[in-house]
Structure 1
Amino acid sequence: MILYILIAVILLIYFWFRKRYSFWKDHGFQYLEPSIPLGSMGGVGFKEHLSEFMKRQYDYFKNKAPAFGIFFVANPVLILTDLDLIKDVTTRHFESFHEREFYINEKADPLWKNLFTAGGQEWKDLRTKLSPTFTSGRIKMMFPIVAEAADRMVEYLKPQRMLNEGLEMKEVYAAFTTEVIANVAFGLDIKCLGHPENEFRKIAKYIFDPPPWVNFKNFMIFSVPKIAKFFNMTLNPQFVTDFFMNTVRDNMEYREKNNIRRNDFFQLLLDIKNSGEGITSNEIAANSFIFFSAGFETSSSAMTFCTYELALNQDIQDRLRNEIEDVLENYNGEVTYDAIAEMKYLDMVLNETLRRYPIIDSHLRKCVKEFKIPNTNLVIPAGVGILIPVVGIHNDEKYYENPEKFDPERFNEENAKNRVPYSYMPFSEGPRICIGLRFGTMQAKIGLVKLLRNFRIFPSDKTLIPMKYSPSSGFQAPLGGMWLKLQSIN
C-alpha cells in the first residue's frame, strides 16, 4: 500500500512539473529546455556562475527572439535580448514592470523590506523620501569619510606590498568599503583592514559568500516563493537580522541622547524620520542594510576587476596614473571631490571595467500587467519574472567590437555619443536606476586614486589569466580571490 502511495505521489509531482514546464511553449516563446527538478539552471551556483550561464544563453538566443524563457526550478522567468524591449520594460512602459521579482517575508525578515525590493506606490514614496540623500552635494559631504578610509588602506598595504605570491586584494578592497559603508550607513568608525574578526566584516562575508547550503536555500526561495512563504523561510538568518536591527536602534538612541549629528547617510535617514515624513525605525534599518550590502560589495568588486585589468595593461595604468598626478597638481597634491570629478580617463577606465565585468550581471523586474511585445504576437503574462542579461549585452560584439579587450577608449566623448542606447547599463536604466550610483563610483574612484598614487600594480604567479569566477558567489568574483603584486612608488 505504501509503495503504491509513493508511486502515486511521484507521478503527481512528475506530471505537475511537466505541466509547469509547458508554460513558455503555451505562450509561444522560445525557451531553454528544463530538467526535473531544478529547471533550466541545474549547474548554476555549483559548476558555473550565473553570469556565465546568462552570457552563454544570451549569445545563443539573441538573434532568434526578443526574449526567451527559462525555469528557476518550476518558476518561469523571461530573459530579454532586444534592446528596444529592454527600453520598454525599464522606461517606456515602466508602469507594467515597476516591481522586482523578489520574495519578501516582512515579519520574519524585516531587513528585506527596503527600496530595492519595494514595488508600486510604496516604492515610489520611499524613493521620493530617499532621493535627496544621494544628491551630489550630500555625497560631497561624505567625501572625507571615504578618503580617510582609503588612506588607512594605503597604510595597511605599505609593509605588505612585496610579498612574492602577491596579495589577495579583493579582501583588502572589501575591508576598505566595509569600513566606509559602516561609517556612512550606521555612523560607526570600525576597523576591518587587518581585523578580519570584526563583526561587520564577518556579517558582510556571510551575506555574499554564505555556506553552500544557504546558497541552495536562497535559490529555492527565489524559485518557489509560494513554498518559501508556506514554510516561513527567510533570506537572512536571525543573527544577521538581530545584528542590524540592534545596531540601528543603539545608534539612534546614542545620537538622540547625546545630540550628535554627522555628515552621513544614517543622519539623513534620521532627519527624514524626525521631519514627520513617515519613515519608520524598521525602514531606517532595512534601507541602511541594503545600502550597506550593495554599497560595500559593488564598489569593492569594481576595484577588484579594475586593478586586475590595470595589472594586465601597464600602458593603461601609466596613462591613468599620469592623469591623476596632472590633475592633482592643480589642487596642491590634495585628493578632493572636485579633483576626482576632473579625471576623465579615470571615468573611462571605471566605465570600461563595469562594461567588461558588470557587478550586477542581470537586472531583475516583474511583469505586473500583461504586456504585448511590439511588432510580435508574443504577450508577457502578468506575474512573470524578468531578467535583463547585462553581462551578455555588455560583451556582445554587435555593440562592442572585440568585447573581450579592455579598452577605455570605448568611453571617450566621441564613442559615448555613438553608443547604442541601452547597450550600457551597469546601474540599470529608467526610474529604478540605482539610487546610490554616485556614491558607489565616488568610493571606488577615491580608493583607486589613493592606491595608484602609492603603488604600481602587477600580476602575480597566482593571478587568474584568463579570469575564472567563483560559481557560488552572489556577484561576479574571481575564483580563489584576486592575487596581485604591489610595488611602492614613493
Structure 2
Amino acid sequence: MLLLILLFTLTYLAIYYYFKQRFCYWTRRSVPNLEPSIPFGNISPPWKNIPPAVQYVNFYKEFKARRQKHGGVYLFGKPMYIPVDAELVRNILVKDFQYFSGRGIHFNSERQQCLDNLFFLDGPRWKTLRQKLTPTFTSGKMKMMFNTMLDCTGPLLKKMNEMADSNEVIDIKDMLAKFTTDVIGSCAFGIECNSFETADSDFRKYGKSVFEENAFKALKMMLAFNYENLAKKLRITILDKDVENFFVKISTETYNYRVRNNIKRKDFMQILIELKEVEKSLTMKELISQVFGFFVAGFDTSAATLTFCLLELACNYDIQDKLREEIFDVLYEYNGEITYEALHEMKYMDQVINETLRKYPVVSMILRKCTQDYQVPFSNSVIEKGTFTIISAMGLHRDPEYFPNPEKFDPDRFSDANLSKIRTGSYLPFGDGPRICIGMRFGMMQVKICLITLLKNFEFSLNSQTKMPPELDFGFITTAKGGVWLNCQKLNKDLLQ
C-alpha cells in the first residue's frame, strides 16, 4: 500500500513539474500570456461544453482588454500564439508568409489519400499543387459552371413552394444544405444527388459524417493537431474509413466512365480530367483528393453562410426588402432571367453577404504553423519554429475598434463609401495571402444564386423556435446551436411589372 502511495505521489509530482515547466514557455519569451491551470492549460474542460471558436474569441478579447498586440495561451501543455493586432495578423498571413506557410496538421497521407489536398498539405507539395489548381477557379471557369449550378435551384424552389403552401416551419440550415449538396455533387462529380427527394442520400450522409463531432473524433483531432509525432506512431487517421472509401470509389468511377466514353461536362471534374489527361500535371491520387477537398469545402460552408444571412434578413425586414428590390431591378434588365452577368451587378447583395461573413465567419479560426523562427516586429519576442499560431477571425470581426457596434447587422459597412475604412488585416472571411481560400469565387456564386432564387419568390420571418441571439455550436464550421427556424410566405409580385 505504501509503495502504491509513493508511486502515485511521484507520478503526480512528475506531471506537476512537467506542466509547470511548460507553462513558463511564454513568460521566458517575453510574450504576454494568460494564467493556465493543470492539465488543460487555458482551454476550458470538456464538461463545460464551450466551443473552441468561443474560447479563442475570449482569448482575443482578454489580450485586447489588456491592450496587448499579441499573447500566448496553452492547449494542455502546448503553447499557442495569438496575434491580436490587425497589422501583425496581416504580416503573418501575407507579408511574412514564408514564416507561417504551414498548417501543420498530421493527416497520414499514406492511409488517407482524400486528405492529400490543398487544405492539409504544406511546403513544396502545397505550393506546386496550388499553382496547378489556381487556374481552375478563374472567373471564366466559374462562368462555365454557372448553368450547372443554376439547375440545382429547381428542386429547392419546388420544396420551398410546398412548405410555404402548407405553412410549415423551415429548418433553413437543413434545407440549404440539401441545395449545396446538390450543387457540389453536380459540379464536382456530375452526379444528381436528389437531396430533396432522398431522405439521406450517400452524398449528404457522408458529407455530414465529415463534420460530425464526437468524443473519439475530437481526441484524434487533438492528437493530430498537438502531438504530430505521437499521431504518426499511433497511425492516427482523422477521416472515417467508410467516408474515405466512398469518395475514392465515386471519384474513380466517375473519372473512368467519363474518360472511357469521352463524356465532357461543364464542371470541376472535367477541369481536373483535362489537367490529368491533357496537361499531364495531375496524378490520380491528386485528382481524387482535390475532388474530395472541393466537395467538403463547399458542402457545409455555403449552407452556413446562407443560413446566417437569411436569419439576419428575417430579423431586419428593411434590409431584406432593400435587397429584394435590387434583385427585382437588376433581373428586370435581364428579362427576369438569373444570369452570370446579373450577379455581378448586385452591389447591395455583395454588401449583405460580406456583412454576414463578418458577423459569422464560416471558419472562425485561422491556423498557421511557424516554419522558421520569427522576430515579432514590435517586440523583442521570437516565435519559435514549430509553434502554432491561431488567428481568431471572429475576434477581429467583432472587435469594436475595427467594426463599431459589431453586434449590429449593417451591410453599409461594405458600401463603396465605407470600404476604405476597413482596417487591413481585420476582415478575413476567406483567410488572406497565398493560402486564401481558392474556392472563394465558387462559394460566392453559389450563395448569390441561392439568395436570388429565394428572395425573389419568398419573404422570410423569424420563427419562435430560433434562439436569439444565436449561440454557437461545436464544430469546425460556424453553426447555430439548436438550428435556425424560419417562416416563409410566397410573394405575389411580378418580377417584370
Q: TM-score range by the shorter chain?
A: over 0.9
Say whether 1:305 aligns with 2:301. no
Q: Which residue of 2 aligns with 1:85?
A: 88
Paired residues of 1:162 and 1:486 also in contact (CA < 8 A)? no
Q: Which residue of 2 aligns with 1:14?
A: 16
The one-letter code of the counterpart of 1:151 is G
Q: Which residue of 2 aligns with 1:28?
A: 30
Q: Which residue of 2 aligns with 1:340?
A: 343
After superposing the two structures, state which structure 1 stretch, 266-275 or 128-137, moved more.
Answer: 266-275
Q: Deviations over 1:4-61 (max 9, x none)?
A: 4454344333322222222212211122233333322124695222222122221110
1:294 to 292, 297, 308: 297
Alignment of 1:278-427 (within 5 A): 278-427=281-430
Q: Which residue of 2 aligns with 1:129?
A: 132
Say whether 1:209 aligns with 2:216. no
Paired residues of 1:365 and 1:387 also in contact (CA < 8 A)? yes
The one-letter code of the counterpart of 1:234 is T
Say whether 1:138 aligns with 2:141. yes
Q: Deviations over 1:352-386 (max 9, x none)?
A: 00011111111111110111111311111111111
Offset of 1:259 from its aligned partner?
A: 1.0
Alignment of 1:106-121 (within 5 A): 106-121=109-124
Paired residues of 2:171 and 2:483 also in contact (CA < 8 A)? yes
Offset of 1:239 from its aligned partner?
A: 0.8
Q: Which residue of 2 aligns with 1:37?
A: 39
In 2, Cα distance between the equivalents of 1:46 and 1:426? 28
Alignment of 1:224-235 (within 5 A): 224-235=227-238
In 2, Cα distance between the equivalents of 1:349 and 1:145? 25
Q: Which residue of 1 aligns with 2:495?
A: none
Q: Which residue of 2 aligns with 1:478?
A: 480
Paired residues of 2:457 and 2:490 also in contact (CA < 8 A)? yes
In 2, Cα distance between the equivalents of 1:482 and 1:361? 19
Q: Deviations over 1:175-221 (max 9, x none)?
A: 11111111112222211124232111011111112334323432343
- CA change 1:163–1:376 in 2 (3 A) is farther
Q: Which residue of 2 aligns with 1:469?
A: 472
Q: Deviations over 1:136-186 (max 9, x none)?
A: 010111111211112211111111126666211101111111111111122
Paired residues of 1:73 and 1:223 also in contact (CA < 8 A)? no
2:97 to 94, 99, 106: 94
The one-letter code of the counterpart of 1:14 is Y
Partner SS state of residue 269, structure 1:
helix
Q: Deviations over 1:369-415 (max 9, x none)?
A: 11111131111111111111110111111011111000100010010
In 2, Cα distance between the equivalents of 1:385 and 1:53? 16
In 2, Cα distance between the equivalents of 1:3 and 1:165? 63
The one-letter code of the counterpart of 2:403 is Y
Paired residues of 2:107 and 2:236 also in contact (CA < 8 A)? no
In 1, Cα distance between the equivalents of 2:185 and 2:460? 28
The one-letter code of the counterpart of 1:263 is K
Spell out structure 1 runs of 4+ moving beyond 6 A. none
Offset of 1:484 from its aligned partner?
A: 0.6
Q: Which residue of 2 aligns with 1:257?
A: 260
Q: Which residue of 2 aligns with 1:221?
A: 224
After superposing the two structures, state which structure 1 stretch, 59-68 or 394-403, moved more.
Answer: 59-68
Partner SS state of residue 413, structure 1:
coil
Offset of 1:3 from its aligned partner?
A: 5.3
Q: Which residue of 2 aligns with 1:50?
A: 52
Paired residues of 2:92 and 2:100 also in contact (CA < 8 A)? yes
Q: Which residue of 2 aligns with 1:64?
A: 67
The one-letter code of the counterpart of 1:36 is I
After superposing the two structures, state which structure 1 stretch, 359-368 or 160-169, moved more.
Answer: 160-169
Partner SS state of residue 39, structure 1:
coil
Alignment of 1:239-278 (within 5 A): 239-278=242-281
Offset of 1:418 from its aligned partner?
A: 2.3
- CA change 1:44–1:335 in 2 (3 A) is farther
Paired residues of 2:184 and 2:299 also in contact (CA < 8 A)? yes
The one-letter code of the counterpart of 2:114 is L
After superposing the two structures, state which structure 1 stretch, 448-457 or 118-127, moved more.
Answer: 118-127
Q: Normalized against structure 1, the TM-score is what?
A: 0.96
- CA change 1:30–1:277 in 2 (3 A) is farther
Paired residues of 2:373 and 2:383 also in contact (CA < 8 A)? yes
Partner SS state of residue 420, structure 1:
coil
Alignment of 1:140-179 (within 5 A): 140-161=143-164, 166-179=169-182
Alpha carbon RMSD of aligned pairs, Å? Answer: 1.7
The one-letter code of the counterpart of 1:25 is T
The one-letter code of the counterpart of 2:21 is K
In 2, Cα distance between the equivalents of 1:124 and 1:162? 51
Say whether 1:449 aligns with 2:452. yes
Q: Which residue of 1 aligns with 2:201?
A: 198
Partner SS state of residue 68, structure 1:
strand
- CA change 1:56–1:373 in 2 (3 A) is same
In 2, Cα distance between the equivalents of 1:163 and 1:378? 62
The one-letter code of the counterpart of 2:337 is E
Q: Normalized against structure 2, the TM-score is what?
A: 0.95
- CA change 1:276–1:141 in 2 (3 A) is closer
In 2, Cα distance between the equivalents of 1:165 and 1:215? 36
Say whether 1:488 aligns with 2:490. yes
Which sections of structure 1, spanning at least 5 residues, go unmatched? Answer: none
Paired residues of 1:372 and 1:379 also in contact (CA < 8 A)? yes
In 1, Cα distance between the equivalents of 2:308 and 2:30? 40
Paired residues of 1:41 and 1:72 also in contact (CA < 8 A)? yes
- CA change 1:88–1:188 in 2 (3 A) is same
